[in-house]
Structure 1
């Protein structure tokens, strides 16, 4: 018996998407498969209070040793995948779901004279098309809704024969949920065509039927036949409600492996769904270390060789199709090689549209979740964090432990709206409350090195000013011992104002950015703060005035830590830059008019129609606008009409981004 707390996922690791989860025992065998609309909510219920679980569930969570999950696009996809994996793995704690009595199918008996729509279970019959599986309640509601649009026969053979003998249809015929072929209201050929339309809709061609009904509805409105338009509107709503795109189940003859990847500069999280007979029969996921200078095409070639080139690779384990986001390098030779192993043709391609492309999106979502989970577990592990900090200290030959690291990044678009970000990490953990952002203007916005020099200077100038202010305050009070106090009462206020310096400054960039940061610190007389730069392409660590970079092993925890800090600084800078750029794009020359708020700007532009007309208006004409008095009108005239000087004012200069000063 295991303790569920020993394998419980950490808070925030479980996504809130729909999906299927699997409990495994200590030997890796799947002992339970379940589905959920919200994976986090469902899985947390197993661990919140195990003592309050039902006896069977209590036994399952104590028998299990791990839990995994796969996200999908909808509840229906989760249902399909759960059913497939229960049938595939026969988990011991899914006893109630091992036979075909749990999930019914929606079946259309196309082999009969008058095809019939019905709910069926158990063995499949020849000449009958099946859709599903569904839950019992959902399939009844689906069938009842669709019969109003596709009134295919749904009665039993006995009811059909009685209606034929009596010449009167059953109740469904009277309420227009059956076309009543039994009494000749529709011919045999037309009824079969109606049944085929039903099958086409359930097979994924919903858009065609919905578009057709919408055109008929529009035509009815034009002809003022509002009752018919209302009926068609209700039919459209019904079809849209019923149809839910299903990316999990493909055509029954589909045999494919569908790959997706989420990657950064060092690692790649790979996910593959194994589709056999149109259903997902398995899923694999792993994180690989990327090779330096390798392209995405090279990555896929190496993956194909590793996945399918094992000595114990079975011939029937290679499918007819391998779907990837990007064609591998030399994919023609790779297809020929795999075809030789399989004994048949193997097609490697990139899906562009349709169900396979939609399923690849689901696989990609799982790869993204796997990468986030991998990084969060690496960052959240105390041992890993300690190892990363120790590796960095040793590699950079620093005398002091790296208790605090600050990382700076510059963001702009062709020199406009230049901003910088600063993120803080203490003991390997991000301190988001101490993040800062900087707007950079004037000469400092000329290039990245000038911007980096400016932001480092501003940050540490504040540090020195606050340090001097605190020293003066302590000397005035006569408590000299407080200068070296480390209690929370003295340290915390200083941290909130950034009087607490870092041990290491990391800049996003190479030699120019590192040297600029070092010059800024030297200019302020700060010598006890180390500076490094992390170049993106090869993940090289640069030191000031160094001809060669420090090369950390690609599996180094210290390099992973630097990469996470750099990526976080980049994310924070990009967010601020986009906000600043968006505000600058909506800037107006009226922003420089004293006393002109947003409401009065709107009233003025609404009255005249454009800024050009406002500029050409006289003071008397400006007063006619709602809310514009003589004083404000004169201010508008002086600012805009007098030679257009306001257009060159820094507050509206779109090229330099001065508007956000």
Structure 2
């Protein structure tokens, strides 16, 4: 625990301008980001007597080891910079709103040449347009299915689109008139993009022009006695009206507004928002936040608005239409932010038009705000009910480990390592990270085990030693680069100076867990002794009897079967095992599946992909001349001749479907070999970060 006076800057050094400041811990990690109208006054408030500080503020300033600041020209600029830094560094002492569930959005990929409508979750991608959030993914699919009658835009994946393009035949949706089939040229890319723009306009709430247009076309067709077309237009109009009717009219004056409400206690707050467009509720979203810093309701609202609207790019190509959909004319909040003028100016800059931030006082908008508040209260109760057991068990697990392993403090960051291989081949090591008893998947790492001679480790103990040696050698390097000649930590800390992001292995764990017993633990301890790692605890978890081994001990620690600490270690070990197997299987599959093009000198994966995309298959490529191959972008005549020579000298194996004359099958490469015996088994549910070299 640091003394704030040891790193307090001189008052005369701090400017009185508006700006953003960052507190860092002893390892250089940013733990808190804040903004101020007057940096000197605000920072001086942190360095008073710690006994007079709020408990959460006191914990922050005693955890920090340095403070730095950046001066900006205006208070609005400080608001935007503060949000970008919170998003960049994920400080542990800042309030961060987390969704109480994962909401799906209807996304239209306007960033692609041929836009596609699809269900999307997670981070929003630049250039795409999003509508929602929706309560369920099936609601999006039902809406899109209805709208494809009127706006038959593409919904297929990239693979389906490319296959249809090569075959010259559309997919089923193209045959039943639910896709305009740009893959086969029924519609030009420009006309398809205009169709997607109309779809986005309709989903954005501007429905009346399209409804009126269909009604007029239907009447015109009926007057011209073209009853078949009039019937189709009638059905299209009915589908469009069903989509419109799915959203309840809550504000009869066609208001565009986001209505926020909040319910909180001393520790947590729940926030709900209704997105109202053209008087109808187009989406609903909720967050639950822990009050890890001292904020009142107004400051919580300000942080909320930063998160909801902070990802909007005011300089994006899609100007007013998209931005005004994301930022409505009215933002109705339960409490005004302390700097409401500053927030309003910032939102106006994002929208490109006027924005009114206010508290509804009477009428339909106040009634709707009360409805949103009831939703927030219900969400908070539900969250606390679900979390009570989980939070208690995590705290108990960390407490059990602290006591059983005689640790000086609770292991808030734990790393677990495992090795996966098939009879000694394709060896891969995994590192998984748990913080506060929960997995932090962004910090997971994989290692290719090379061994002393480059062919792999002789056994698991040598593999564990290599992985830990590489991990903590990187940590030691990052730590040495972050200190001056006297051993004092630099202000920048172990952070990449170019990107501003923390180094990959910048922070040490409190506890390292290896999958194995006494041999693996002793091998890991030898690495720690060699590298001088003294501030990290080390244990091993043996699978057979779930024994916990300490380095240098002849007998293990046996935790009770009902121990929450043992359960946490088991979760760590199982997650490291799963992650290692996933990496191992990927490496093994890549080694077993080879193409005849892999042996062509000068032909890498990018050029192989370009050739196969151009010719469609290896069989077509085999029949091409060097000049035809050299016409592919990025392939020269010398490389083209090498491809021809390699394909003509490589024999083709006939298959059951091959003709009698020995024509080659239409595949890219040889078939995979049978999986060897003794292959590692386990779950492989999704890729993680790339392999660490």
**TM-score between both structures, scaled by the size of structure 1:** 0.35
Which one has a bigger Cα radius of gyration? 1
Higher fraction of helix: 1
**TM-score between both structures, scaled by the size of structure 2:** 0.33
Highest relative contact order (Cα 8 Å, sep 6+), 1 or 2?
2
